[in-house]
Chain A
C-alpha cells in the first residue's frame, strides 16, 4: 500500500478528489508489479536459453552482458517491495541497462534463435515498461525508443549486410501504443469507480454522522434527565425536607453533565456495575434483591446505558410503585446479556404515559436503543412492573475485523453488505475496463499486423479463401462482443460460447490451411491473434478456462505440424518459442486480469471502506466534541452555577429564591428535552413541557393558541420560549400562556398573576442568546403583582393568506 507518499493526512482527507482513489491506486500498483515481473521472467528465461545455446567461445562475453541484466532485474524486483529505497533515476537507468545489455547480446550469441529471443526480450520489455512507468509516460516512452534503437543496432551488428527491416519496428510501436491505451482505459474506469464510490460514501458518511450525533444527543439528554433535571425539579418542589443528600448529588450531576457522552472505551463487567446501583436513601430507599449470574463482560457503551437505565428505573420504583422492594436479575443469553428489574407495586398503563414524560422513553428505552440494545417495560395497573434490558453482541463479521469502533455509536448492520456491493461495483468497472482494453488490442492487432500478413502471404495459403473467411469471422466476433460491451451489457452465454467456438474453429482452419513448415511463422497471422479474442470473451471467468483455450489452440497447431509428416527439431523450436512469445504473454495478461478482478477489486473495496471509516470516525468525533461544547456552553450560564452553588452549600434549598431558580432551570431543561420530539407544532410542544413543570408545583396555567401554526427554527423557539419559561418558573399561583400566529409573526406571551421578583428575571433572555442572530423582541409590562412578558418573532414573508 505504501506507494509514493499517498499516506492520508487531514488535508488530503478533506479533499478526496485531489488524489487517486484506492481503486486507481491499487490498479496502478498491480500493473507496475505485473510489468516488472513479466519482463524479469522473460529476460531471465530467454537470457538463460541464449547463454545455453551460444557457442562455447561466446559464452564468457554473453555472460558478461546478460548476468548484469539479470542482476538489474533482481534489483528492480526488490525495489517493488521497498519503493522508497531507490531513486527513480536509478531505477530508470537499470531498466535502460537491461534493454541495452540484452540487445547487445544478440550479435554476441549470433544465429537465428538469438534474433528471435532478443526480439522477444526487447519486445516484451518495451510493453512492460509502459506499465512499470505508467504514471510517468515520458520515461516509458524513452525506454521504448531505446528498445527500438537497440533492436536496430543489434540487427545491424549481427547481420551487417542486410537493410533495415521496418516491419518489426512498426509492430513494436503498435504494441507500445496498445499497452499505453490499455492502461489508460483501465485507469479511467478505475477512476470512475473511485469517484462514484466516493460520492456514495460521502452520502453514507453524512447519514452515519447524523445518526451518531442523534444517538449522542439522546444519551446526553437522558443523562441530563436523570441527573440535573431530576435534582432541580426536586429542589423546586420541595420545602422543609431533609436536604443532606443534595450537595453530593449536585456535584455528581455536574460531573455527569461535563462528561462527553459515548466515548468510554473498552468493556465493563455488567455484574460489578449492577452491584453499585444506588438503592436511594431515607424514604426513597428501595431494597434490591439481586440475583446476578456474573461476570457479564459487555462493551462499556451498552453497559453504562443499562446501568443508568436501571438506576432510573429504581428511582421510579421509589417514586411511583408504592413498594420498597424490587428484584434485580441479570444473566447471559447467547453472546449478550439480559437484565430485569421487577416490582410488585401498583403498576401503570404504559400507553397512558404522556409522550413528554421522559423517565421511561428517554432514560430507559431511547438510551438503550442508542447503543443498539432494547429495553421493554411491561406493566399493568395493580400488577407490578417489569423492565427488561437486552443487549446482544454484534452479529456477522462486519465488526470483527475493525477493532476499535466508537463505542456508543452503532455501526450500521448493513456495513458488510455495503462492502460487498462496493467490491462488486469496483470489480464491474475493472472488468469493463480490461475487456475494453483487450478488445482494442484484438481489433488493432487484427487490422494492422495480421491484416498485413494475410495480404502479403495470400499465395501460400491452401486455399486462400478459407484464411480470408477466418479473418472475417474473427472480425465479426470482435464486433458483436464489442457491441454488447459498449452498451454496457454482459455477453449472453450463447453468444459467448458460440463466439469462442468460432474462434477455435478459426484457429483450426488457419492451422490446417497453412503449410506446416510455415506454421507460426510470418504468414501465420492468426496464431498470435486468436488468444486476444478468446481473452476478451473469457475475461470474467477463471483464468483456467482461458488457459484451457490456449492449450487447445496450441494443440491444434501442434497437431497440424505433426500430421504434416516428420517435423524437424527446428520446427518444434519455432513453435515453442512462438507459443511462449504470444500465448505465454496472453496468459500472463489473463492472470493479471484475474488478479485485478479477484485481488485488487476486493482490496480496493476494503481500502476504500477503511479510509471511509476513518473519515467517518473523525467527523463523528469532531462533531460530537463540538455538539457537546455547544450544549455545555448553553448550560454554563444557567444550570451549572446553580448546581455548583448547591453542591458546595453556597446556595440553600431552604431559600425560596433558590427554589424558584431551580424551577426555572428545570423548566428550561424540560423544554430542551422536548426539542427532539417529532410533533406537528414543536413550539407548542416545548411550551407545554415548561408548563407541566410549573403545574407540578401546583401553579394553575391556562394555555390558549390562536392562528395557524407555522415553521419556527429551533434557535428562535429557544429564544421565544425562554422568557416565558423564566416568568412561569417564578409564578406562585396562576398564569396565562398564549401563542398567537399571524401571517407576519408569532407571539408567545405569559401573564403571571404573582411573579416572584428576582435578579435573573431581567437577564433571562440573555442566558440563551448565544451566537444566534434570530431577532426576537421581548416586551415586559408590570402592573401591581402582574407581570406580562411577550416574545415575538417576525416570520419570513412566505405564509400565504388562508382562503378557507
Chain B
C-alpha cells in the first residue's frame, strides 16, 4: 500500500461513545482514514462493507463475556490486520494478542495519542509499539520470549514510563529515530516467534525489505 493511499477501517466495539471518539480522531488524520463499518459484533468485519476494510479495530471485551481471542485468531488467519483496542491494561492479554498475530495492542487510555498512527502502520504492515504494549514486552518473563538486548529492554521500559520518545531519547542520549528503531526491532523479534501467522510473516518481510532489521539479527 502506498504511503498516502486512503485507509479503510472497520470498528468492532459495543460502546457508541468510543466509536464517535475514534471517528473524530480519524477525521483529524493527515492521511484519509474512513470507517467503512462499525458495530458491536465481530460479524461487521466479515460482511460487506467491513469485510474488505484494510484494518480491523477490535474491542477484545465484547458484551458476551471473556476476551474474544477466537475472533482475533480467525481474523488474523484470514490475513486481516487487527488492532486490538481494549480497556484491559493487562500485559498477559497484550502478549497473547501479539502471539496470535494482532498488528498491535492498544489500551483505550492510549487511543487519543496512538490510534491513528497505529492504524496507518497496520495498513502499511509496519510495526507500531504503543507504551502500554512496550511495558508488557519489557517485563515479559515467558520462556518463549525473544532475546532482547539490555538497551532494547531499557528503551521499552522507559517508553512505557514516560510515554514520550523525546524524553527517552534525551535520557539515553540518542535520537528519537534511534528510539523508534529499537522499538521496531523488538516488535519484529516478537513477530518472528511463537504461533506462525501470515500477518507476522509479512511484518518481518516488510521490515527486512525496509532495512529495519538484518536477517542475521533474527
- A residues bordering B, Cβ < 8 Å? 702, 704, 706-708, 736, 738, 740-743, 747, 749, 751, 779, 781, 783, 786, 788, 790, 801-804
Further pairs besides A742-B141, A783-B166: 8, Cβ < 8 Å: A702-B109, A706-B135, A706-B160, A740-B139, A751-B167, A781-B171, A786-B167, A790-B161
Q: Is the CB of B91 within 8 A of A781?
A: no
Q: Is the CB of B142 within 8 A of A788?
A: no
Task: Give 6 nearest A-B pairs by CB, closest first.
Answer: A707-B139, A706-B135, A802-B141, A749-B161, A706-B139, A781-B171
Q: Is the CB of B157 within 8 A of A742?
A: yes
Q: Is the CB of A786 within 8 A of B164?
A: yes
- With A740-B157, A740-B161 known to touch, is A788 a contact of B167 (CB < 8 Å)? yes
Q: Is the CB of A751 within 8 A of B163?
A: yes
Interfacial chain A residues near B143, Cβ < 8 Å:
801, 803
The A-contacting residues of B in range 140-158, CB under 8 angstroms, are: 141-143, 153, 157-158
Q: Is the CB of A801 within 8 A of B141?
A: yes
Q: Is the CB of A740 within 8 A of B141?
A: no
**Closest Cβ neighbor of B136 among chain A residues:** A706
Pick from B136, B157, B161 the residue with the most CB of A within 10 Å: B161
Q: Is the CB of B142 within 8 A of A747?
A: no
Q: Is the CB of B135 within 8 A of A704?
A: yes
Q: Is B89 an interface residue (CB 8 A)?
A: yes
- Closest chain-B Cβ to A738's Cβ sits at a distance in Å of 5
- Closest chain-B Cβ to A519's Cβ sits at a distance in Å of 95
Q: Is the CB of B164 within 8 A of A783?
A: yes
Query: B interface, how many residues as a size bin?
Result: 20 to 34
Q: Is the CB of B141 within 8 A of A743?
A: yes
**Closest Cβ neighbor of A747 among chain B residues:** B157
Interfacial chain A residues near B166, Cβ < 8 Å:
783
Q: Is the CB of A738 within 8 A of B141?
A: no
The A-contacting residues of B in range 91-113, CB under 8 angstroms, are: 91, 109
Interfacial chain B residues near A738, Cβ < 8 Å:
135, 160-161
How far apart sit A743 and B139, CA to CA, in the bound complex (Å)? 8
CB pairs A–B below 8 angstroms (21 shown): A702-B109, A704-B89, A704-B132, A704-B135, A706-B135, A706-B160, A708-B141, A740-B157, A742-B139, A742-B153, A743-B141, A749-B162, A781-B162, A783-B167, A786-B167, A788-B162, A801-B141, A802-B141, A802-B142, A803-B142, A804-B142
How far apart sit A804 and B92, CA to CA, in the bound complex (Å)? 10
- Closest chain-B Cβ to A723's Cβ sits at a distance in Å of 13
Interfacial chain A residues near B160, Cβ < 8 Å:
704, 706, 738, 740
- Majority DSSP secondary structure for residues of B touching A: helix
- B residues bordering A, Cβ < 8 Å? 89, 91, 109, 132, 135-136, 138-139, 141-143, 153, 157-158, 160-164, 166-167, 170-171
**Closest Cβ neighbor of A739 among chain B residues:** B161
Interfacial chain B residues near A801, Cβ < 8 Å:
141, 143
Interfacial chain B residues near A751, Cβ < 8 Å:
161-164, 167
- With A736-B163, A740-B139, A741-B139 known to touch, is A783 a contact of B170 (CB < 8 Å)? yes
How far apart sit A804 and B139, CA to CA, in the bound complex (Å)? 13
- Majority DSSP secondary structure for residues of A touching B: strand
Interfacial chain B residues near A786, Cβ < 8 Å:
164, 167
How far apart sit A704 and B162, CA to CA, in the bound complex (Å)? 11
How far apart sit A706 and B91, CA to CA, in the bound complex (Å)? 7
**Closest Cβ neighbor of A790 among chain B residues:** B161
- Closest chain-B Cβ to A312's Cβ sits at a distance in Å of 37
How far apart sit A741 and B161, CA to CA, in the bound complex (Å)? 12
Pick from B109, B139, B164 the residue with the most CB of A within 10 Å: B139
How far apart sit A747 and B91, CA to CA, in the bound complex (Å)? 17
How far apart sit A156 and B30, CA to CA, in the bound complex (Å)? 135
**Closest Cβ neighbor of B161 among chain A residues:** A749
- Closest chain-B Cβ to A776's Cβ sits at a distance in Å of 16
How far apart sit A751 and B167, CA to CA, in the bound complex (Å)? 10
**Closest Cβ neighbor of B163 among chain A residues:** A736
Pick from B136, B141, B142, B164 the residue with the most CB of A within 10 Å: B141
- Closest chain-A Cβ to B94's Cβ sits at a distance in Å of 10
- Closest chain-A Cβ to B176's Cβ sits at a distance in Å of 12
How far apart sit A749 and B143, CA to CA, in the bound complex (Å)? 27
- Closest chain-A Cβ to B145's Cβ sits at a distance in Å of 9
How far apart sit A449 and B66, CA to CA, in the bound complex (Å)? 94
How far apart sit A783 and B109, CA to CA, in the bound complex (Å)? 23
How far apart sit A445 and B180, CA to CA, in the bound complex (Å)? 100
How far apart sit A769 and B193, CA to CA, in the bound complex (Å)? 44
How far apart sit A707 and B153, CA to CA, in the bound complex (Å)? 13
Interfacial chain B residues near A781, Cβ < 8 Å:
162, 167, 170-171
How far apart sit A743 and B136, CA to CA, in the bound complex (Å)? 13
Interfacial chain A residues near B141, Cβ < 8 Å:
707-708, 742-743, 801-802
Interfacial chain B residues near A749, Cβ < 8 Å:
161-162
How far apart sit A802 and B139, CA to CA, in the bound complex (Å)? 10
Pick from A702, A742, A781, A783 the residue with the most CB of B within 10 Å: A781
- Closest chain-B Cβ to A705's Cβ sits at a distance in Å of 9
How far apart sit A691 and B167, CA to CA, in the bound complex (Å)? 22
Interfacial chain B residues near A707, Cβ < 8 Å:
91, 139, 141
Interfacial chain A residues near B138, Cβ < 8 Å:
706, 740, 742
Q: Is the CB of A788 within 8 A of B139?
A: no
- Closest chain-B Cβ to A708's Cβ sits at a distance in Å of 7
Interfacial chain A residues near B132, Cβ < 8 Å:
704
- Closest chain-B Cβ to A59's Cβ sits at a distance in Å of 105
How far apart sit A740 and B162, CA to CA, in the bound complex (Å)? 12
How far apart sit A788 and B109, CA to CA, in the bound complex (Å)? 20
Interfacial chain B residues near A783, Cβ < 8 Å:
164, 166-167, 170
- Closest chain-B Cβ to A791's Cβ sits at a distance in Å of 11
**Closest Cβ neighbor of B89 among chain A residues:** A704
How far apart sit A737 and B139, CA to CA, in the bound complex (Å)? 16
How far apart sit A540 and B143, CA to CA, in the bound complex (Å)? 70
**Closest Cβ neighbor of B141 among chain A residues:** A802
**Closest Cβ neighbor of A736 among chain B residues:** B163
